[in-house]
Amino acid sequence: MNRIATLACLLLLTPALDAHAAAIVGKPAPALEARDADGKTVRLDAYKGKYVVLEWVNRQCPFVRKHYGSGNMQSLQKKYTEKGVVWLSVCSSAPGKQGYVQGPEAKEWMAEEKAAPTDFLLDPKGKVGKAYGAKTTPHIFVIDPKGKVVYNGAIDDKPSTDREDIETARNYLSAALDASMAGKKVEVAATQPYGCSVKY
Amino acid sequence: MWAPTMLLALSLNPPGASAANVEASLISERPSVAPGVPFHVGIRMRIRRGWHIYWRNPGDSGLPPRITWTLPKGFAAGPIEWPIPGRSEENNLVTYGYDRDVILSVRITPPATIHATSITIAGKLDWLECAEICLPGSARLWRSLPVSPGPGVRTPEAAVIAAARARLPAGPEGWAFSAEAGPRAIALDFVPPKGIAPREAYFFVDKPLVTEHATPQGLERTKRGYRVTLARAANAAGNLARLSGVLVIEDAGHARSRIGVNVDVPVSRGNPAYRAPTKPSNRNRQGERS
């Protein structure tokens, strides 16, 4: 009887929980384990004690190209990794879908773009993306040294594919990292991400 | 023969532009402008099959079309009047938009006096068109109209705009709405006017970070009317003061008729339960719009 009840509960709860799987601001970040472009296994808990940025990427998406074509993403990557922040670019495009890459291609693209993340993670089954509730490319998550989510959302406040908008945009990622690293409260901790849908 | 036909074609067809899959143009309800008399223009977007554009709240991804007007001195443009959107689901991500040809109507108010014999309504339209992939689109639209005090003849374009405006979500007159929100769910209670019996309902929330778009909405009967329940967004910001958007229902009495109603109500604090629908709703999908 109990087992049936438990099973019924699980069956009832599972879809709702799935749909709700997300990185919630103020809560511990979902576990993360994925292969990087070199085939090495990367785990989030290995970076405890450091700030971690997760950036969802699809190199063919016009919103991603806005931030790479302008050099904006690369300069953010350089600026913050120099301050000891761990920056993980994550690609959740499924095989055959737009933006899908395997290791060597990912490395080639990073070299071409002079991208400077700490690592590039391959998530072709969308396991990491779905655990975090990654919806768009780009979609940004910031995790503090205790492993708590301090930001979930858009890279900035100008949802467009126009490179010209970058200069006048308010960058939420920088604002969240700067505030959190200075021991201050993150003013805008959750926003609606903008971009192409993640190609699960 | 060639040259005059070409000229005629050029003067009759206002300039539009096409990205790869969406063709945009500007149409006018009136062939001329009368000082002080408001009229509507329509941003007509012809969408290639398999592609879509977005509603004012695009949902989990995408961008709504945006227009930046360049108007003669003293003219004012109202907001875009958004037609009832459709819902599209892919890989547990839900977006709201249009996958058929659509008219985005806008009210233009001319000043009381116009010191010109003709004027030009112009705008730069930007949009995002998506199928499996997304492409940004952009077009400069303009329409020159003579200034004439009379109402002018009705053009075929007037009928197109009138038909589109007749299908816009209605005001809430005749409906009663109230809303309640808690940490897990938002409940929208409504009583429709007599004679309307909702068979399906979907609430298109028009603000970000309010609900989880991909979580199915529940519809149940209540003592006085109906209740739609929405799952609260995982990263919802604090208390919800108002709930706004468009409620779309399928009327049991009229097969395939979709009714849209504008909703903007204060939200009381409570703890409503999220109730999953008893069967997955297939209504309100894009492509079901008539």
Burial code (b: 16+ CB inside 10 Å, e: under 16) for B227-245 equals bbbbbbbbbbeeebeebbb
Decide if pLDDT at A8 tops 60: no
Residue B154 binned pLDDT confidence (cut-offs 50, 70, 90): confident
Residue type, B26: L
Q: What is the pLDDT of residue B284?
A: 54
Residues of chain B with C-beta less than 8 angstroms from the C-beta of A164: none
Mean pLDDT of B171-195: 94
Decide if pLDDT at B289 tops 50: no
Q: What is the pLDDT of residue B285?
A: 56
As a whole number of angstroms, the distance between CA B159 and CA B157 comes to 5
Mean pLDDT of A85-101: 97
Q: What is the pLDDT of residue B258?
A: 87
- Judged by a CB distance cut-off of 8 A, whether residue B117 touches chain A is no
State which residue of chain A sits closest to B232, comparing Cα positions.
A20
State which residue of chain A sits closest to B92, comparing Cα positions.
A19
Burial code (b: 16+ CB inside 10 Å, e: under 16) for A52-74 equals bbbbbbbbbbbbbbbbbebebbb
Please state the ipTM of this predicted complex: 0.87
As a whole number of angstroms, the distance between CA B72 and CA B145 comes to 12
Contact (CB<8Å) A135/B234: no
State which residue of chain A sits closest to B58, comparing Cα positions.
A194
- Judged by a CB distance cut-off of 8 A, whether residue B130 touches chain A is yes
State which residue of chain A sits closest to B91, comparing Cα positions.
A200
As a whole-number percent, the residues of chain B with pLDDT over 90 amount to 75
Decide if pLDDT at B32 tops 90: yes
Cα dist from A63 to A112, A135, A194, B213, B237, whole Å: 18, 13, 8, 21, 25
Contact (CB<8Å) B235/A25: yes
Contact (CB<8Å) B133/A196: yes
First to last CA, chain B: 40
As a whole number of angstroms, the distance between CA A80 and CA A50 comes to 11
Burial of A146 (0-12, 13-18, 19+ CB in 10 A): exposed
* Partners of B22 in the β-ladder: B47
Query: Which tokens is B60 given?
Result: 């989990």
Decide if pLDDT at B29 tops 80: yes
The three-state secondary structure class of B235 is: coil
Nearest by CB to B276, which of A16, A97, A135? A16
Mean pLDDT of B63-81: 98
As a whole number of angstroms, the distance between CA A61 and CA A138 comes to 9
Angle at B43 between CA B8 and CA B168, to 5 degrees: 130
Contact (CB<8Å) B61/A135: yes
Query: Å from B116 to nearest chain A CA?
Result: 35
- Judged by a CB distance cut-off of 8 A, whether residue A188 touches chain B is no
What value does the mean pLDDT of chain B take?
A: 88
As a whole number of angstroms, the distance between CA A64 and CA A193 comes to 12
Among B95, B134, B211, B213, the residue to mutate for chain A (most A Cβ within 10 A): B134
Contact (CB<8Å) A133/B234: yes
Contact (CB<8Å) A197/B237: no
Closest CA to A51 of A75, A76, A70, A73: A76
As a whole number of angstroms, the distance between CA B178 and CA B228 comes to 11
Give tens-digit pLDDT for A126-160: 999 999 999 999 999 999 999 999 999 999 999 99
Residue A64 binned pLDDT confidence (cut-offs 50, 70, 90): very high
Query: Which tokens is B201 given?
Result: 């309902």
As a whole number of angstroms, the distance between CA A12 and CA B197 comes to 28
Query: Which tokens is B75 given?
Result: 């003219």
Mean pLDDT of A20-39: 93
Decide if pLDDT at B69 tops 60: yes
As a whole number of angstroms, the distance between CA A49 and CA A29 comes to 13
Residue B17 binned pLDDT confidence (cut-offs 50, 70, 90): low
Contact (CB<8Å) A190/B237: yes
State which residue of chain B sits closest to A135, comparing Cα positions.
B60
The pTM for the full model equals 0.88
- Judged by a CB distance cut-off of 8 A, whether residue B231 touches chain A is yes
Q: What is the pLDDT of residue A19?
A: 46
Q: What is the pLDDT of residue B128?
A: 96
Higher pLDDT, residue A7 or B173: B173
Nearest by CB to B136, which of A20, A62, A191? A62
- Residue A22's φ and ψ, nearest 5 degrees, are -165, 160
Which residues have C-beta within 8 Å of that of residue B68, sequence separation ≥ 6?
A: B123, B124, B126
State which residue of chain B sits closest to A126, comparing Cα positions.
B91
Q: What is the pLDDT of residue A12?
A: 38
Mean pLDDT of B146-171: 90
Q: Are B126 and B138 in contact (CB under 8 A)?
A: yes
Is there a cis peptide before residue B198, judged by omega within 30 degrees of 0?
no
Mean pLDDT of A40-55: 97
